[in-house]
Amino acid sequence: MKSKIPIIFLICMIATFLIYTFYLSEKEKTKHQEILDYFNSNREQIVSSIEQLIVSGKIQDAFDAIDKYSSIFNDGVFSQLKEKIELEKRKERTNEILSIWKNEIRYFWYRKQDVSYYEDLHEELIKLNPGNEKFIEMQKKFLKKKKEHEEIEKSEKEIEKKEQEIYKKEQEERIAKFGKPPDTEIWGLHGYEGPVMTFLKQRAHNPPSVSIIGCSNLSYTSDGWILFCEYRGQNAFGAMIHDKKAFTIVHGKVTKMENLDEYGY
């Protein structure tokens, strides 16, 4: 007797499950039928409202409205509405691309890293609007302009390379003739002022009093590296003097000190 109870219980559970499943199925069918009946009774109004959503740019809302009905039954109008949505999406993206192009074209050729981005935009325009002569012509003009700029860029790089080679050769010749330009590797904190400081202190009445107020950038003449420096120090009478001179430097030593008027200052 006891062994029969579990079997009866199992049968009851299965029966209950089947009944509940049947109930849910019937409930779902009823719900679908209600939606279908509602759609059939209000077909024109529903289609019109979806079309209005499309026109007003509420694409996702239009998709949701279509899915609500197309998931239950097929109707040719849904395919037509989806085609309209796709068309509106293509128009929206086309206008977006044209807006980007219009607003950024003036800066484009100064931002060469964006070339591939704009190429992709043109490709997308053609795909969104196959056979559109206007966009095909735009792409041709863009590719022509791109090629022109690539040629200009190539030419500029070649010129820059030649200029660098010339500068390097001239610099090597100057170094061979005048020695390395004075810098912080040789003179520490004084940098290229080091030879000038050494030169001034060697000739000063009071070397510790000598200080350099400032110097120009290092340049060169046919005689050597040159600096225009402003300095001060005590003279033989203990008075502080202030002066500006041009210093020619060859192989790390000042070989000539001249007045600035020799150089038009």
List the pLDDT tens digit at each of the 265 positions of the chain. 445 556 776 667 766 666 656 555 666 666 767 767 776 677 778 777 877 877 777 777 777 777 776 655 456 676 777 777 777 788 888 888 888 877 766 555 555 556 777 888 888 888 888 888 988 888 888 888 888 888 888 998 999 999 999 999 999 999 999 998 887 444 444 566 788 999 999 999 999 999 998 888 888 999 999 989 999 999 888 899 999 999 999 998 999 999 988 777 6
Tell me the one-letter amino acid at 191.
G
In DSSP terms, which residues pair with 256 in a beta bridge? 248
**Element containing residue 136 per DSSP (H, E):** helix 133-178
Query: Residue 176, class by beta-carbon neighbours within 10 Å (0-12 exposed, 13-18 middle, 19+ buried)?
Result: exposed
Residue whose tokens read 């809302």 = 61
State the Cα angle at 11 between 7 and 13, rounded to 5°: 115
pLDDT for 99 equals 86
Q: Please give the model's pTM, rounded to 2 decimal places.
A: 0.47
Type of residue numbered 89: K
- Axis-axis angle for helices 133-178, 115-128 (nearest 10): 170
Residue whose entry in the numeric block shows the structure tokens 């409205």: 65
Predicted local confidence at residue 189, as pLDDT = 45
Give the total residue count for the chain: 265
Q: Supply the DSSP symbol for 205.
A: S
Instruction: Give the CA angle between residues 107, 113, 116 to the nearest 5°.
Output: 100
pLDDT of residue 225: 93
Which residues face 253 on adjacent strands? 250
Query: What CA–CA distance (Å, rounded) separates 26 from 17?
Result: 14
User: pLDDT value at position 184?
Assistant: 46
C-beta of residue 227 within 8 angstroms of C-beta of residue 234: no
| CB contact at 8 A, 231 and 214 | no
Give the pLDDT of residue 112.
55
3-state helix, strand, coil in the chain (%, to 5): 70, 15, 15
